[in-house]
Amino acid sequence: MIVASDDQAVVELLQLHARAQRSGDHAIARLIEDSLGSAEGLPYAVSKSKFMALAQATGVRCPRTVVVGNADILEQELAEAKYPLVVKADGSYGGKGVRIVSSADSARDALQELGAAASWPSAIIRSFDGLHVGPLLERMSYKRPVVTLQHHIVGRCANRAVVCREGVVLGGLSVEALELVCTNGPAAVVRIIEHQEMTDTVATMAKRLKLSGFHGFDFMIDRNDRAWLIELNARITPVSHLALDDGTDLAASLLSAITGTNVQSPSPLKHRTIALFPQALRSESTNRHLISSYCDAPWSELQFVRACLAPQSAKSWTAQLRSRLGIRSRATRPPETSQETAL
């Protein structure tokens, strides 16, 4: 099994799967399907718009989401919209392709920004920074991403991490975000929760997509404690590796299913509030949680910890060059919303 640890890995696995199918390499294609899910479900792993359309058709609780296919659809939606709205671009991650807008004009601006190609200088710097040609190839073959308008749900950010096998959820862990890295960004501190609607929704979608491997489902929990599904991440999440004293252990659940043996976690956690590494240690706003939380940092690897916590300017010469030239990555402008109403 291949375990994808970030969104780019998922994209490359899907590209490899497509090449394997074209060339008749059934072993590689099957390996990727065993790692992510059925061939029919793979396109939903990287397309926010397709996944939300499927969720709406399946009948699980999710915000109304509309693909902005042309100017007529856009203007019709904006004329009937209740603000704020969420504007999302397919293929984005980490909150970079999300904008929360409060007017028709700001929605148009967000749509134009999210659909714009990265500049050539930015693509060149990203290629040097990562020591690969991916950003250059992406810029050369640029296609305007699918952009959607989504009803905005006010509430608390939550996630359910699961491990699946052929559409069956083998194990899962639900968390609620207590602190975010930034507005619309990933969580820095989470609390483990039990939420039956999240559990049921994920089971329904996993079965519908015939998922395999590790996945994360993002939710918003509103003031009435209703869980609204907003996104699928076809990869491990920052809590996928955690083992709890109640028997929750995704890796052990998978190994047990594969081997037919009862695998036990060697050192389960008793804590229910987790400070995620390195996010929680980079932010002063998380200090109030660190004393009472389990800090999930690899303290036995201090050199690695120091490298992860080093300032961006110290880690990357390209970050310094980008700052000096005034170059920013596509879709990284801070959205116009407050922390309290962010996804």
Strands laid side by side in the 213-221 sheet: 227-233, 213-221, 156-165, 168-180, 187-193, 273-276, 294-296
Please give the model's pTM, rounded to 2 decimal places: 0.85
**Residues 281, 314: Cα–Cα separation, whole Å:** 17
Consecutive H or E run containing 174: strand 168-180
Q: Compute the CA torsion angle 147, 152, 153, 159 (nearest 10 deg).
A: 20
pLDDT score, position 335: 34
**In 3-state terms, what secondary structure has residue 211?**
strand
Pair of tokens at residue 40: 């029919």
pLDDT score, position 132: 65
Pair of tokens at residue 239: 């809590």
Do 281 and 275 meet the contact criterion of CB atoms below 8 Å apart? Answer: yes
Fold of 64-152: Dna Ligase; domain 1 (3.30.1490)
pLDDT score, position 201: 99
DSSP string of 33-68, one letter each residue? HHHHB-TTTGGGGT-HHHHHHHHHHHT-S---EEE-
Which parts of the chain sit beneath pLDDT 70? Answer: 94, 116-120, 122-123, 125-126, 128-135, 137-139, 141-143, 285-286, 312-343
Do 163 and 251 meet the contact criterion of CB atoms below 8 Å apart? Answer: yes
Alpha helix segments (H runs only) across the chain? 7-23, 26-36, 48-58, 71-80, 104-114, 120-130, 134-140, 196-209, 250-259, 279-282, 287-290, 302-309, 312-315, 317-325
Cis bond before residue 278 (omega within 30° of 0): yes
pLDDT score, position 111: 85
Q: Does domain 1-62+153-297 have CATH number 3.40.50.1820?
A: no
Task: Encode pLDDT of 214-250 as tens digits.
Answer: 999 999 999 999 999 999 999 999 999 999 989 899 9
Domain ranges of the chain: 1-62+153-297, 64-152
Consecutive H or E run containing 149: strand 147-151
Do 235 and 227 meet the contact criterion of CB atoms below 8 Å apart? Answer: no
Q: Position of tokens 């407050």?
A: 338
**Residues 76, 311: Cα–Cα separation, whole Å:** 45
**Residues 167, 284: Cα–Cα separation, whole Å:** 41
